[in-house]
Amino acid sequence: MTDYSKTSSETKPIVVGVLGFDGVTTLDLTGPLETFATVNRSESDRAPRYKVIVIGLDNRSFASESGVVFRAQKTLETAPPLDTLIIPGGLGIRSDHANRTFSDWLNRGGTTVRRMAAVSTGIYALAHAGVLKGRQVTTHWRFAQSVARKFPEVHVNYTASFLKDGMFYSCAGGTAAIEMTLSLIEEDYGVQVALSVARELVVELRPPGGDRHQLESFDYQVGPAERLADLPAWIAAHLRGNLSVEALAKRTSLCPRHFGRLFKRIFKTTPAHFVEQLRLEEARRRLLVPRHNVDSVAASVGFNSADAFRRAFERCFGVSPSNFRSRVLAESANWAAAKTRKQEPSVPDESGSRISG
């Protein structure tokens, strides 16, 4: 396999295909495009690290849901070999025609792609093709229940911003598509390149979420429980705010007592435990950002005190926040150093034997 950690002067750019089709969601398409383009722009003195190709599903021109007209450079039939394929969401990708076209292409050789990433409802194309059986995925909260019902062999995570399972990435859409693309860039070229792009786009670099300590999936019923459908996503976006039972009940227009019973029936846990788990998962990600200290992370995810945060973190993960950060950063540094040593060129000494230089 190509060593993508080398500088772009030492290897060819990584070829990324972004699928285009009538009815694509504009942001799902342009978010990854701009993120990859930022890598190339930020290092203008180098050859491009990525070659990104917009690939039409079956024709060159297509229009997004918002009416923007795009022209693809290639179609699935004429596309070159790809390292990575991004599948945006949108109404068009959920049609029978789109699913058949994509599945046929995948069966004819699309599996040579190293990794595939679905944005929001782009997950329908992969699930319909049958390549996600037994895998963990996520999608936009509005469609998560539909995906779970239509593809029961796929395990849908309702709270993660984006996930990785093997060669497959999936995300919730919107800004999550940018976060997921940054993770792909980190996988290819390391954390420093990804951090540089994240700063340029004014977003935070985050690892895939939901890989451990996942909350159980829920299955809401028609009726009052439907009011809770978007609650996980809303809570995740407001971790620093008031997430008491009373506040959450008010948001769903239910009395606190009925809300608590309904929440526990749907999510299989109490509101307090659910909120704490989301706060701790997000805190774990933020601890890996060097400029954040334990106290600031605790406050940023809604804990009233650093001591309460430390106790909850250790109870959940079996290690203190500071020890967790030290251990993970040390492992990352050791891995990077080992990889650097492995890539160091060797030069001949005076006797003609080769030594590391």
User: Is there a single domain that holds both residue 147 and residue 19?
Assistant: yes
User: Is there a single domain that holds both residue 236 and residue 92?
Assistant: no
CA distances from 300 to 133, 279, 307 (A): 37, 9, 14
CA distances from 171 to 20, 68, 144, 159 (A): 17, 23, 11, 10
Secondary structure (DSSP) of 162-226? EEEETTEEEE-STHHHHHHHHHHHHHHH-HHHHHHHHHHHT----PPS-SSSPPPP--PPSSGGG
Secondary structure (DSSP) of 85-131? EEE--BGGGGSHHHHHHHHHHHHTTGGGSSEEEEEGGGHHHHHHTT-
CA distances from 108 to 122, 136, 179 (A): 20, 25, 31
Q: What is the per-residue pLDDT across 74-111, written as a single tens digit (0 to 9) for each? A: 999 899 999 999 999 999 999 999 999 999 999 887 66
pLDDT given at position 285: 87
Task: Judge whether 211 lies within some domain.
Answer: no
CB of 88 within 8 A of CB of 25?
A: yes
User: Is there a single domain that holds both residue 191 and residue 245?
Assistant: no
Nearest to 76 by CA among 85, 65, 67, 66: 85
pLDDT given at position 265: 86
CA distance 138 to 157: 5
Burial label, 238 (beta-carbon count in 10 A; 0-12, 13-18, 19+): middle
pLDDT given at position 45: 63
Kindly report the CATH number assigned to the domain that includes residue 263. 1.10.10.60
User: Is there a single domain that holds both residue 18 and residue 141?
Assistant: yes
Q: Tokens 């450079």, residue?
A: 73
pLDDT given at position 289: 82
Kindly report the CATH number assigned to the domain that includes residue 98. 3.40.50.880
The DSSP letter of residue 356 is E
Task: Judge whether 294 lies within some domain.
Answer: yes
CA distance 311 to 321: 9
Q: pLDDT tens per residue, the chain (357 residues)?
A: 334 444 434 578 999 999 999 999 999 999 999 999 999 987 666 789 999 999 999 888 999 999 999 999 999 989 999 999 999 999 999 999 999 999 999 988 766 899 999 999 999 999 999 999 999 999 998 899 899 999 999 999 988 889 999 999 999 988 899 999 999 999 999 988 998 898 888 887 777 864 434 333 333 333 555 667 778 888 988 999 999 999 999 888 888 999 999 898 888 899 999 999 999 999 988 888 878 889 999 999 999 999 999 999 999 999 999 998 888 877 776 776 676 666 665 555 544 444 444
Out of 162, 182, 201, a domain closes at: 201
CB of 226 within 8 A of CB of 220?
A: yes
Nearest to 280 by CA among 200, 213, 182, 197: 213
Nearest to 316 by CA among 277, 261, 262: 277
Report the domain count for the chain: 2
What lies within 8 Å, CB to CB, of 347 at 6+ separation is 354, 355, 357
Task: Judge whether 214 lies within some domain.
Answer: no
User: Is there a single domain that holds both residue 21 and residue 66?
Assistant: yes
Burial label, 196 (beta-carbon count in 10 A; 0-12, 13-18, 19+): middle
Q: What is the per-residue pLDDT across 171-219, written as a single tens digit (0 to 9) for each? A: 998 889 999 999 999 999 998 899 889 888 888 777 786 443 433 333 3
User: Is there a single domain that holds both residue 258 and residue 327?
Assistant: yes
User: Is there a single domain that holds both residue 186 and residue 291?
Assistant: no
Helices 26-42/175-189 angle, 10° precision: 40
Task: Judge whether 115 lies within some domain.
Answer: yes
pLDDT given at position 158: 83
User: Is there a single domain that holds both residue 243 and residue 160?
Assistant: no
CB of 69 within 8 A of CB of 62?
A: yes
Range of the domain at 288: 228-332
Task: Judge whether 69 lies within some domain.
Answer: yes
Instruction: Using the CB atoms, write b or e for 200-222: b if 16+ within 10 Å.
Output: ebeeebbebbbeeebbebbebee
pLDDT given at position 274: 94
Task: Judge whether 6 lies within some domain.
Answer: no
